[in-house]
């Protein structure tokens, strides 16, 4: 069977198939629409690194509700990064969506990842990816005084810059009042002279920084 047609299951959710999401023509990532997680192979990083904005647009999404992780043993709700289920003592190790082997927990800076050394792939939860985006957005806003004064930093910056990347400056300008506070903040900046260009430039910087961090994550496989 053509690999492109294989529907792997989300390693975090139970029985939910991953969706092929197009980054660019001929380049897909495996994404879970339920939890927002992404399966990324080291072999694909050179192609993805060339299009960081498109990758961020495909991999990230706004989550209106926090993902409720269920124990794979007894299906009781539990913390995503807990070592064990408090109800049945199931050890929290996800299976690789590609080969089915148990993935190892790997620490990289401030995030915990699930990694398969056999496939050289990582499972990146939505919360982990959004944490990378928030940190990068805050750094970009801090080094760009104009952006920082208009949208603030931290979550405000992350939300506003993401919305320009995701929705596009024209939709942000027209529909800011109907969407999130981040869109409204982005719309206010877009009204100013050069505002659209500064936001788009900021979005590109943040996307590049996020993918740079993801590229660094794959250093966990060095020497294996």
Q: How much is the pLDDT for 2? A: 47
Q: What is the pLDDT of residue 88?
A: 97
Cβ pair 172, 190 in contact under 8 A: yes
Confidence of residue 145 (pLDDT cuts 50, 70, 90): low
Question: Rounded to an integer, what distance in angstroms lies between the CA atom of residue 89 and that of residue 41?
Answer: 30
> Parallel, antiparallel, or unpaired: how do β-strands 38-41 and 121-124 relate?
antiparallel
Average pLDDT, integer, range 196-215 = 72
- What is the model's pLDDT at position 112? 84
Q: Which of 85, 94, 164, 159 is nearest to 125 (CA)?
A: 94
CA atoms of 111 and 136, how far apart (whole Å): 14
Average pLDDT, the chain: 76
- Residue 198: what pLDDT? 58
d(CA 71, CA 173): 43
CA pair distance 13, 54, nearest whole angstrom: 25
Work out the average pLDDT over 196-218. Answer: 73
Q: Is the pLDDT of residue 147 over 90?
A: no
pTM here is 0.75
Structure confidence at residue 119 (pLDDT): 95
Average pLDDT for residues 175-191, to the nearest whole number?
A: 41
For the cut 90, the answer to whether the pLDDT of residue 6 exceeds it is no
Q: Does residue 135 contact residue 152 with C-beta atoms inside 8 Å?
A: no
The secondary structure of the chain in percent helix, strand, coil, rounded to multiples of 5, reads: 45, 15, 35
Mean pLDDT of 120-134: 88
User: What does the pLDDT average to over 135-154?
Assistant: 61
Using the predicted structure, report yes or no on whether residue 14 has a pLDDT greater than 80. yes
Asked if residue 16 has pLDDT above 90, the reply is yes
Mean pLDDT along residues 150-154:
47
* 12 pLDDT above the threshold of 90: yes
């Amino acid at each position: 069977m053509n690999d492109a047609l294989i529907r792997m299951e989300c390693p975090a959710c139970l029985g939910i198939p991953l969706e092929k999401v197009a980054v660019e023509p001929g380049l897909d990532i495996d994404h879970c629409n339920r939890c927002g997680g992404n399966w990324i192979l080291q072999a694909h990083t050179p192609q993805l690194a060339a299009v960081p904005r498109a990758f961020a647009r495909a991999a990230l999404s706004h989550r209106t509700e926090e993902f409720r992780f269920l124990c794979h043993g007894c299906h009781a709700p539990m913390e995503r990064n807990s070592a064990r289920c408090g109800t049945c003592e199931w050890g929290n190790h996800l299976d690789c969506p590609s080969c089915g082997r148990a993935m190892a927990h790997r620490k990289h800076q401030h995030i915990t990842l699930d990694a398969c050394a056999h496939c050289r792939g990582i499972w990146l939860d939505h919360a982990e990816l959004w944490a990378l985006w928030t940190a990068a957005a805050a750094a970009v806003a801090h080094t760009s005084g104009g952006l920082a004064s208009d949208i603030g930093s931290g979550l405000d910056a992350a939300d506003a810059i993401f919305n320009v990347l995701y929705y596009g400056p024209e939709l942000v300008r027209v529909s800011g009042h109907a969407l999130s506070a981040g869109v409204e903040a982005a719309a206010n900046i877009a009204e100013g002279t050069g505002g659209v260009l500064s936001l788009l430039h900021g979005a590109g910087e943040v996307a590049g920084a996020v993918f740079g961090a993801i590229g660094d994550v794959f250093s966990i496989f060095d020497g294996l």
